[in-house]
Structure 1
């Protein structure tokens, strides 16, 4: 029996010695071909898809062959790291290392040639434009999250009692298929403003003129223009909230609701005392997910106003400091502030997922 096992292990070792160099050759040669870029754009895309798929499959297959050379008790201990290890390395390379580098750069001057201590952080918390960015970001966090969850829950409750539930949910969810930049461009036409007497091309101002009112500069008047931008974010995120909360509502037992109604409870009492407590976990999950999106919002502001008219947020300021003003110290400091703000929310989500045995 031992002799048979040794022979199998030897065969696996030989197979690994043959397959592994082939896999490495495929990976390296494909990378070099893509690097030189001798193909057309379509051919490059198709080649990248095929090469990437083949490379990943052959890479993990080769690693599995190598691990199979070890005895079974070692194989069972090593194999999880074989499949999880590359993902951890990629995450470390693209997330952890850049985070440390940003932290380091945040203590240096604009071109990273001299140590300036906390000067960049002092700028972040004292500059007038940055203070406006903080104020606007808080508005996005509060109202963007609140209204997205509220309208998502309202749509889910109404859809449950509607005969056109699927069609209604589809229309509410459709904006999720649009990118934030695309939504910004669409709504820029909706908010378009021209002086009184001119032909109004924006939908809202055309309606204002039709009802005898003066046209309004919706996105050029602070601070209300922030709320008009937040409305776009709510329009996009309501569909996400609807889908998650609608699924949660399906899990609320009808027997409990019917029993409450028989006992004389009003619909509002059933909602507040039975339905919402039953889906509270899902509401918190949706709220924290949308909160993260609101905290990192950039696309809508950039495409609509480019931060003008008092609409700057932290993410837009970070982008401008880093890539427009080429002040890597201030840009990195703002990025660290955003990271610190995001971290508690991420920790809470992971903690809740762990409680529900997601991991």
Structure 2
């Protein structure tokens, strides 16, 4: 398993580099073919390479991704290594070790019959090209298991996820010479500053208006900000990006109304709101029965008691759950530091985690 993880990690697959993602799909395909005894269907959508294996009539859907957030060349500064029971390298936790565990778990069963496997190449950027593929593959399935990393370094499973929305607020002003006649302009930078503070104040309103849900309050965060075209010109244009995490569909809809209802403060300024909902929330009810089953299996296998937690991040589990397919996430590698220089996988947990998944597959595909 470590050798396979090393192979995947050494093949870099930054989401924005489609050629790298294509090479990675080839490497993942070879690994899956070796372990599953069948080549995948390679699906390229808008230049993004995805893989699918389907055996018989699927009752269980396994979902993973092979793209990472790490820019090409990261392997030089963060080379693959195993020391002190920890494997390191770009993307090892999110989620190349999880893919290895998935393939080995399925290969350990007498047959892969009744299982569909999807490994997509754009999860880190929202699964924009693979969403429909994932949603269509839930049809007829009794369970979806998502191989994202555990919620913490103790191996907690992810039993609920917030939904995500992304907005861009475009501020339209009016340009003018900043030295000679600034009074004739409409300063988009100043208007954007007002909107940043307005966005920051929406969180409390959204939390009060929406059902709290198992994840607590929604978060509404101003992130990217840009404005202006020259140092001596009153800015005519500014852009503000807003990140939203919502615990329920109701909260997501309420926030959408609030964001789209924002109004300019400066006379002559105009706001244009782009974007909206992306991933729907994954409620606790989607995972309850599967988490209970996983807990029983872990006890039978002599593993430590499982914990389930709700998290603010989103994944492809949001899509499978929204399709009405019971979903359990966080079944991949155990470790910490995803997307950070400290990223690592606890190698002692890889085999037990694969055994847990194998038994989950066996019991839910019947």
Q: Point out the structure with the larger strand share.
A: 2
Q: Point out the structure with the larger helix share.
A: 1
Normalised TM-score (structure 1): 0.23
